[in-house]
Structure 1
Amino acid sequence: MLLCPSDHEILDETAFFEAVSSGVDAVKKGYIVTFGIPPRTPETGFGYIKVGESCGRWSRALSFTEKPDRSRAEGFLREGNYLWNSGIFLFRIGDIVEAFCRYMPEIGSSIRRGTVREDYSGFPSLSMDYGIMEKTDNVAVVPLSAGWSDLGSLDALYDAGKKDRAGNVIVGDVLPENCTGCLFYGNSRLMVAAGVSDLIVVDTPDALFLSPRGNTAVMRDVVADIGVRKRCELDRPLEVSGPWGGVSLLHGNQRETMRKIRIFPGSTLPSGLLESTRGSLYVLEGQAVITDTKGEETELRRGAAFSLDGNRLEKLENSGERLLEIIVVVVRGDSGAGENCTRRGE
C-alpha cells in the first residue's frame, strides 16, 4: 500500500513512480518504506531521517527526528546524511498492522477488531511519524527528487501558486489595486485590496485571516488559542457532505446555531453527527425516522417538529422516496460551551 498525503505537490511523476518502484524492493524484504527529500534549507516544519547503510536503490533509516529546532536542523544539513521526511509511506498491510499493535496498541487492537470507525474519536492525537517511525528499527528510506512540495501551509500555497505580473496569487473574486507579492484567497464575496505587499489574506464564511507572508506557522498557535477560548468556529464545520447527503450552517454564533440537513432516500445521517443538545428539529421536506438510545422510533413528516431536549439521538434516516430536508436549531447556555448539534464527520 502506498500512503500519500493529499496536500503534496509532485511535479515529476515519472521520477516519483521510479522511486516507488525502488521502495517495493525494500517492502518485499519486510521494511516500512518512507521517501526522503534532499533538504534545501534548515526547515523546522519537517521531520528528518538519518540515512544509514545503502542497499542499492534504498537505504536503511537509522533514526527519525520530528520537527527539530533551527540550530539542530542546521546541524543536520552540515552532516549531509539527513533527508526531509516527506510523509509518504509504502508498506505491506500485515507489516504496518503489526507495527501499530506494537507501538500504538490502542489503534492496533482496533484495526484487528475492525472497529476503527467506531473507535476513531478516542484515538490519541499522535501522528504515525511520532507513534511508529521514531520507535521502530524496521524502516527503509528511498531518496525522492521529483519536484516535491508540501502544501501544508499558506506560505507553501503561495510558493506553488500561479502568480500574476505583480507576483500575486489570486483565488476567487478578487480585485487587487497596486498590490505585490500577496496571496488572496477569496470565497463567495468580492475581495478588494489596495496598496499592500507580501500579505496573505484568506476569507471564508466564518473567519478572516490576515498575516505577513512568512508568518503563517503561527496558525497552529492561533488554532490552539481558539480551542482554549471554546470558540464555535473550531468544532462546528460550515458544511459536511458525503454519499448520504450533507449538513450546512445557515446561521451561527456562540449562543445559537441553525443548520440544514439533507439526507438522500434510503440513507442515514452518519453516527456522531447528531449530539445531545437543547433545541428543535423541523422537517421541511420528506419523511424521517428518528431513533433514540432506547431504540424508540419517531416518524416525522413534512411540517413536523421534534424537541431535542438534551437527549442523544442514535439514528436519523430518510425513510421516504424523496430528499429529506431538515432544519435544526440549537440553543446553548450563556457560557457558549454547550454541546453542538453537529460536529465534524467522517
Structure 2
Amino acid sequence: MFGIHDMAIDLGTSSVLVYVKGKGIVLKEPSVVAINKNNNQVLAVGSEAKLMLGRTPGNIVATRPLREGVISDYDTTQKMLKYFIRKVSKYVRLSRPRIIICIPTGITQVEQKAVLDASYDAGANKTYLMEEPIAAAIGAGIDISLPNGSMVVDIGGGTTDIAVISLGGAVVSDSIKVAGDKFDDAIIRYMRRKYNILIGEKTAEDLKITIGAIYPPKEQKSMEVCGRNLISGLPKVVNVTTDEMVEALREPADIIVEAIHSVFERTPPELSADISERGIIMTGGGALLTGMDKLIQEQTGIPVYVASDPVSCVVLGAGKALENISVYSESALMDNSNSPVYIG
C-alpha cells in the first residue's frame, strides 16, 4: 500500500504539480531548468529558471526538458525531478517515496521507460504511470467506474489528450501535439507576419494569457508588446488587440476541434449518446483560453463545461488515486519492473 507521504506528479511540458498524500498540492513550478554548460551544474529550477528564458549568456542555457508531452532531455528531466522531490521533502518527510506520474495518452514504451527511469534516478522507490485524461476525469469529479460515457479534453502545454471514458478506462482516445506551446508559436508567427517583429516564447505566452481568445469577448482588450524589428534590428513597441489574437490562435484551435471530431467518429453510439446528454469536460491550462469551450460546443453541438480547477485536475485525479488506492489498485499501474499497464 502507499505510504502517508507518497506522491503524485503531473509532469507537464509547461509546469510540474506535486500532490503529497495527506497534504494535497504542495508544489507548482514551471518545467524549466537553467544549466551552466561549462560544468553541467544546475543553476536554477522552476520559477527562477523561467525568468532566465531568452536572457542567458552563452555559458548558461535555460531549457524546458519536456517537449510535446515527452522527455526530450533525459538528464535534465532527472535533475529537475530530483530538485522538486527534495524541495517537497522540506515540507514533509519523504524517504524514497512511491510516485504516480501522469503521462499523455499513446506515448511509446520507450518514452514510458524514460519517465520511469528518470523518476527512479531522482529518488523514487517505485514509480507508476497514469494516463492524463483518466487522471483529469477523476480530478474533475467524474465517477469513471460507471457504465456511462464521459468525454474529457485535456489541453496542456505540449499535448491535447482526448478520451471517452467508461467503466474505469479509456474506450477511445487520442493525443495530438497541438496545445499551449503551439498557441504560443502561432502568436510568434503572427507577430512576425503582421508587424515584422520577433518576440520570445515568454512574451507570446503573456499575450496568450492576458488577451488571448478564440472568440472576441464583449470587452476588447489590448496589450503593448516589445519585440525586435526584423528589418532594423532595433526594439519596436506595438499595441496588440484581442481581435488580433483571435486571428492568430484560430488555426491551432481548429486542429483541436478536428481531433475531437475524429474521436467521436470512433466512439460507440451508446457512449456518444451519453456524451450528448452529459456534455464534454475541458481540463488543462488551455481550457482557460477565452472562447475555446464556445468553439468546441459550436462545432460539435454538445454542451461543453470547463472544470472548476482545470490546471490542477490531472494532479488532483492522481492524488485521489493515492488516497483511494484500494479503488485504483496497484495492479492497474505501470511500474519500473512490470509490463505496461495503467490506472484505468
Per chain length, whose mean CA-contact separation is higher, i.e. which structure has more relative contact order (CA < 8 Å, sep 6+)? 2
| Higher helix fraction (1 or 2) | 2
Which entry has the higher C-alpha Rg, 1 or 2?
A: 1
Q: Give TM-score, length-normalised by structure 1.
A: 0.28
Q: Give TM-score, length-normalised by structure 2.
A: 0.28
| Higher strand fraction (1 or 2) | 1
